[in-house]
Chain A
Amino acid sequence: MPEHAPKFDAIADHAVLVGFADTISEEAHAQVVALDQALADNPPKGFVEAVPALVNLLVSFDVMATDHAAVIAHLKSLLDALEVNSVSGRAREVLVCYDAELGPDLDAIASATGLSVDAVINAHLSGDYRVLMYGFAPGYAYLSGVADEIQVPRKTKPVRDVPAGSVIIAGPQCLVTTLTMPTGWSIIGQSPTRILTGDPDAPFLFDVGDQVTFRRIDRAAFERMKDETVHA
């Protein structure tokens, strides 16, 4: 059983929100991931889906099959037996090209932090990343673990038409985009690794809780792999 008693909120007629904390912490997220895993292994009657986030987990159900009280009872029984530390996500690797043209904000981060561009890149590569949650748009996986020395705030004004595959950072978080969209985050490179894999059996590269490392590739490799991915 977790240290703090989790909170259960009824959401309309079709879901329960399980909250572990009001503020972000690794402990709360580890509890979210552990309960999410336990639910996948042992779903309640009428279970539709679960959505893990930073400090809480949404559990949706079929109102014709069950109700909030039954789902909460099931969640409590899972929580009683929950072993939070036993859960560890899979290791995933994301390739990234930090070419100046593909990472137009590297210079700005270097001057904001007093580091060289190479030091910014190395700091990014050294991060210990974990998938916290998805949100905003399909495949937008928020990763924690950006090294302290390159944590920069969001820009005051978003940049338009940032291409899919951009590696972007803001504060402690990093994200590989899947759509061409505006962003206020800093663009530090581009990746040929697809988060939306196109594989019907495993359409998303990450699950929440996975550990992620970035590996540097040069521009030639990026161009080659980008084409390979496109034609795959």
Chain B
Amino acid sequence: MPDAKFSVSFAGPLVTLQDAGRPGNMRYGVAASGPMDRLAFDAAHAALGNSVAGTAIEVSLGGVILNCTSGAVTLAVTGGDFVVEHGGQKRGSWTVLTVSEGDRLTIRAGRAGSWAYLAFAGDLLAQSWLGSHATHAPAGFGGGAVLSGRSIEVKNAALREDRLGDIPQPEFTPDGPIRVVTGPQDRYFAEGAVDRFLSAPYAVTDAFDRMGMRLDGPELDLKAALSIPSEPIARGSVQVSGDGVPTVLLSDHQTTGGYPKIATVISCDTDRLAQLRAKDKLRFAAVSSEQAVATCRTYLENKQAYLDHIAIARGTLEQRLMRENLISGWSEEDMSAAT
């Protein structure tokens, strides 16, 4: 199959190549990295019919402008509510389109969301580190940042006309407070700090990157000026620095650290948390570890059903009409007789 090539005419800061991540290396100081919004990343690949969620471009609020310099490829844009401009048309993220030589594709911040994903029906060429293309942004290891003036190459670029159009957006994702399991060092906090954390509104600040999100809200006092031995950190840990300010650690988090952690965001709530923007308000709510497990299992089942649903090729208009007619004209007996 032919290749498609793009030149990057503009890329904002924190636009990086990401695959599903490199778990298993935290013991060596290496967080798994991977997408900030894993649902949107997976959806981009599913909507293209990619059997493996390979490497995609994670687009920050800074946006990206690509010029297709040769070939053609079908691509998907998902995540948040970004603006996608192509061929004189402006549309939102959650869309599949085909870009050909001479075309310009612009993805820029829209009404909501901090991260969009651009996946291709093909293999995005990228540097590998420890078996993964995911960019560890602070170190620059892995696929790396997408930078203005550089080029991007997609091998085995496919045209998938039967997948063009809007991608149904997920409807199973929760809203409401961001759920956490308290601990493991909540015992180090002053009386009332945990209650305050769970009841007060917080706001996202500008100090928000792939490592974490610093919040603005009531200070969370420690019992004393404690020196806590450096402990392992998980994605979603809410650590509180000496000034009482909480920071939620995300994809490129440090793997160990000495700040006490008041709670950890459950894994199925980190995607929507990461899509918030500076000044957005949020609240936290505590769940038990058993509730966390049950909630995340249900979420992952719903997520898989959603991905399976959007992975079904919609077909060309003609095919879609024919399918509608066939299905509406069939009885259940016909279905079982046919299979």
Q: Hey, which bits of chain A sit against chain B, CB under 8 A?
A: 9-15, 17, 19, 22-24, 36, 48-58, 60, 63-64, 67-68, 133-142, 179, 200, 203-204, 207-208
In the complex the two chains form, what is the Cα distance from A134 to B29 in whole Å? 5
Instruction: From B27, B296, B300, name the one whose CB has the most chain A CB atoms within 10 angstroms.
Output: B27
Q: Contact partner of A11 among B28, B184, B295, CB < 8 A?
A: B184
Q: Given the complex of chains A and B, what is the CA–CA distance between A57 and B293 in angstroms? A: 20
Q: Which residues of A contact B300 (CB under 8 A)?
A: 63-64
The residue from B131, B255, B293 contacting A135, defined by CB atoms under 8 A apart: B255
Do A11 and B297 touch (CB < 8 A)? no
In the complex, A179→B139 CA distance in Å?
7
Give the residue of A56, A64, A137 whose beta carbon is less than 8 angstroms from that of B139: A137
Residues of A within 8 A of B139 (CB): 137-138, 179
Does B97 sit at the interface, judged by CB under 8 A?
no
State whether the Cβ of B138 lies closer than 8 Å to any Cβ in chain A: yes
How far does the Cβ of B233 sit from chain A's closest Cβ, in whole Å?
Answer: 8
Q: Is B264 an interface residue (CB 8 A)?
A: yes
Q: Is B292 an interface residue (CB 8 A)?
A: yes
Report A180 CB to chain B, min CB distance, Å: 10
Residues of A within 8 A of B234 (CB): 11-12, 14-15, 58, 60
Q: Does B126 contact A (CB under 8 A)?
A: no
Bound CA span A70–B233, Å: 21
Which of B47-55, B108-116, B117-125, B265-273 interfaces with chain A?
B265-273
- Complex CA gap A140/B136 in Å reads 14
Contact size range, B: 35 or more
User: How far, in whole Å, are A220 and B146 apart by their CA atoms in the complex?
Assistant: 39
Looking at B67-75, B224-232, B328-336, the stretch in contact with chain A turns out to be B224-232
Q: Is the CB of B30 within 8 A of A138?
A: yes
A51 touching B256, Cβ below 8 Å: yes
Q: Does B147 have its Cβ within 8 Å of any Cβ on chain A?
A: no
* 8 further A-B pairs in the complex, CB-CB below 8 A; given A13-B289, A139-B29: A11-B181, A12-B266, A12-B267, A13-B181, A13-B268, A58-B231, A136-B29, A138-B28
Contact B267–A51 (Cβ < 8 Å): no
Q: How far is the CB of B336 from chain A (nearest CB, A)?
A: 32
Distance to closest chain A CB from B23 (angstroms):
6
Interface membership of chain B positions 266-291, coded 1 if the CB is closer than 8 angstroms to chain A and 0 otherwise = 11100000000000000000000110
B2 contact set on A, CB distance < 8 A: none
Residues of A within 8 A of B228 (CB): 22
A6 and B131 alpha carbons, distance in the complex (Å): 35
Can you pick out 19 interface pairs between chain A and chain B where the beta carbons lie within 8 Å of each other?
Answer: A10-B181, A11-B264, A12-B265, A12-B289, A12-B292, A13-B295, A17-B184, A22-B228, A48-B24, A49-B23, A51-B255, A68-B293, A135-B254, A135-B257, A136-B256, A137-B139, A138-B136, A139-B28, A139-B30
CB <8 Å contact, B236 and A137: no
Do A51 and B27 contact each other (CB < 8 Å), given the known contacts A11-B181, A12-B292, A134-B255?
yes
Interface-central residue, B293, B297, B300, by most chain A CB under 10 Å: B293
Q: How far is the CA of A207 from the CA of B29 in the complex (A)?
A: 11
Question: Which residues of B have CB within 8 Å of A24?
Answer: 229
User: Does the CB pair A49–B131 fall under 8 Å?
Assistant: no
Whether B293 pairs with A67 at a CB distance below 8 angstroms is yes
Say yes or no: A208 contacts B183, CB within 8 Å: no
Decide yes or no whether B152 CB sits under 8 A from chain A.
no
Q: Are A55 and B229 in contact (CB under 8 A)?
A: yes
Among A53, A57, A140, point to the contact of B229 (Cβ < 8 A): A53
